[in-house]
Amino acid sequence: MALPQRKHDPKRDVLKDVFGFDDFRPGQEQAIDALLAGGHVLTVMPTGSGKSLCYQIPALVLGGLTVVVSPLVALMQDQVAALRLAGVSVETINSARSRDENVTAWRRVAAGEVRLLYMAPERLMTERMLDALGKLDVRLIAIDEAHCVSQWGPAFRPEYRALSRLADLFPGTPIIALTATADEVTRADITLQLFGNRAETLVQGFDRPNISLTVEAKHNTSRQLFDFIARHKGKSGIVYCLSRKKTEKIAEQLREAGIAALAYHAGMDKEAREANQNRFMTEPAVVMVATIAFGMGIDKADVRFVFHTDLPGSLEAYYQEIGRAGRDGEAAEAHMLFGLEDIRMRRVFIDQEDAGEDRKRREHARLNMLLAYCEASRCRRQLLLEYFGEQAEPCGNCDICRDPVEHIDTTEDARKILAAIHGTGERYGAGHIVDVLLGNRTERMTEAHAALEVFGKGALRKKDEWQSLIRQMAGDGLLRHDLQGYGGLEITEKGHALLRGHGRFEARPIKPRVRTRKEGRNAQIAEQSEADQSLIAALKALRMRLAKEKRMPPYVIFSDKSLIDMAQLRPRDDSEFGMVHGVGAAKLKEFSEIFLKAIREHGST
């Protein structure tokens, strides 16, 4: 049967012929069109939504050389391996390769044989490299993990700031900056730093609806973790810890319990870190216990959970870390433990940071928003998405939606808080507001503030209770922290309405309590038949064997979606194999024979 003719479109030709995809995911085509039109673009897309195609396809359509800036060697190597399997001429110059390997790579680049060149910012922004690239036909520049550019982002790297010169050094060359993690303040800073505010910002969305969200009061970290792991036996996951010592301890405890657990932190030897990372990326059912040193560039499709034993640094960091789960689109779980000691430690980290007072104020304000998320009395996903500027309905896939907590009417106390904030000019943080309510005559307490009607009217509550109420009010949308100014509390329109006597505010009990959490069983019912599931398992085993032989992550060979498509289509020859999702010309040539053989043999058993 003749296939319908596809209308000629260079970007769609590349999408199908090179990468084996029939259509773009949301947001990809808009970013690609903007680059092909010669414009600069900041693209914010959720983890696992295919950001890399936003520059890989224009690179192949435009020809010439595309320079890709990436912060981690492991991330570069995975991207390069995947592109080479797709038949793309690509190189990387990085510190993990020998000088001879880097020289050979550069000669290919200089000879015009390479379409994409991956480098770290430190290597790119040397005068020697910039001069050499200036003599080549650079058609496009891509900056991955662009939140590293902004000092307000969750992973600021000073060396990224030098990238602000690129727009002037390569005039007329479109630049795309990509990230999954940037709130409005960070996005504005990236656009200013890289593009002088001359760029199109495309925000696709932040929602990862397949990830279940849970926050639990910390009371026995080890027992809570072991109970959680027991429910995810035989699954891959990441356990985040605040300290290196805790990382080693928990990994050892899990191993003693018969769980394949590895440790990862910056204090380990480089070889040991890389060995553990390679095991995690290539083997099933491995649990990585890590500090935040284990982060960017981790793209394992079947991570089923992320467990935080300690409070992360901000909502951006939390979003980025939980984004390592469920990249295959299947159900995954993010579980965080939250205790008062965590808050103290995070405050200490911020205060000890070698940074100006302005940055410290903003970081404290960011931490306050994370605490509001932890003490939320309404849907956590709503609050998380609102932080990034999106509106959403209650998700049904967080602990609060699944098992609503009891609420008590605290309207009058909320109005006292609002009155104190309003009376002090909406410029102060929670600490000063609580001092007003408690009637504390601190050094910062002015006579005007002490003369407020609400001064001392909150003496019946303790300081921690007031702070918890303020966080819950922020989580409910009555207050917000001014990240662009001094980090003070501001009253929203909803808050002003409550202050005027309209509506009510109900908070959850302020004292943390340990409660039995209902199991959120949103398990997906497999659509495939038993025969298809058996074939998928066989294809996964084949993919794993090939991945080990080629020393690369399994998803680089084929995604789970591709394997499911194979099991459903059961192709009989190269022509039919080419119709499988994710099969481009290069993968058709390299893998069709071995996968077709596996499908035939499975059908005969």
How far apart, in Å, are the Cα atoms of 77 and each of 70, 72, 557? Answer: 10, 9, 14
Statement: residue 192 has pLDDT above 60? yes
pLDDT, tens only, 287-299: 999 988 776 556 7
Please tell me which residue, 151 or 390, carries the higher pLDDT value.
390
Phi, psi of 571 (to 5 degrees): -60, 145
Residue among 177, 195, 201 nearest 68 (CA): 177
Q: In terms of Cα–Cα distance, which of 527, 520, 604, 525 is closest to 561?
A: 527
Of 1-10, 111-120, 242-251, 376-385, least confident by mean pLDDT is: 1-10
Do residues 436 and 420 lie in contact, with contact meaning Cβ atoms separated by under 8 Å?
Answer: yes
- Tell me the domain boundaries of the chain: 10-203, 211-402, 408-507, 530-603
| 211-402 matches 10-203 in CATH topology | yes
Residue 330: CB atoms within 10 A of its CB come to 14
Report which of residues 351 and 108 the model is more confident about.
Answer: 108
Tell me which residue of 252, 248, 296, 287 sits closest to 268, measured CA to CA: 248
Sign of CA dihedral 82, 84, 86, 90: positive
- Which residues have a Cβ under 8 Å from the Cβ of 418 and sit 6 or more positions away? 478, 479, 491, 495, 496, 498, 499
Q: Tell me which CATH code domain 211-402 carries.
A: 3.40.50.300
Share of the chain above pLDDT 70, in %: 92
Higher pLDDT, 444 or 593: 593
Q: Which helix (H) or strand (E) holds 211?
A: strand 211-217
pLDDT band with cut points at 50, 70 and 90 for residue 335? very high
Residue range 336-387, pLDDT digits in tens: 998 767 777 887 788 777 777 777 777 887 888 888 898 887 899 998 998 8
Q: Which residue type does 409 have?
A: D
∠ at Cα 532 (530, 534), nearest 5°? 70
Domain at 10-203, CATH from 1.10.167.10, 3.40.50.300, 1.10.10.60, 1.10.10.10 = 3.40.50.300
408-507 topology per CATH: Arc Repressor Mutant, subunit A (1.10.10)
The β-bridge relationship of strands 479-481 and 489-491 is: antiparallel
pLDDT digits (tens, 9 = 90+) for 116-170: 999 999 999 999 999 999 999 999 999 998 988 886 655 667 778 889 999 999 9
What the block records as the tokens of 229 is 């792991």
- Of 53-62, 391-400, 480-489, where does mean pLDDT reach its minimum? 480-489
Compute the distance between CA of residue 176 and CA of residue 159 in angstroms, rounded to an integer.
18
In degrees, rounded to 5, the angle at the alpha carbon of residue 268 between the alpha carbons of residues 126 and 47 is: 65
What is the Cα–Cα distance from 19 to 12, expressed in whole angstroms? 10
Tell me if the pTM is above 0.75. no
Q: Give the lowest-confidence range in 35-44, 256-265, 490-499, 521-530.
A: 521-530
Fold (topology level) of 530-603: DNA polymerase; domain 1 (1.10.150)
**Is the per-residue pLDDT at 245 higher than 70?**
yes
Q: What is the 3-state secondary structure (H, E, C) of 321-365?
A: HHCCCCCCCCCEEEEEEECHHHHHHHHHHHHHCCCCHHHHHHHHH
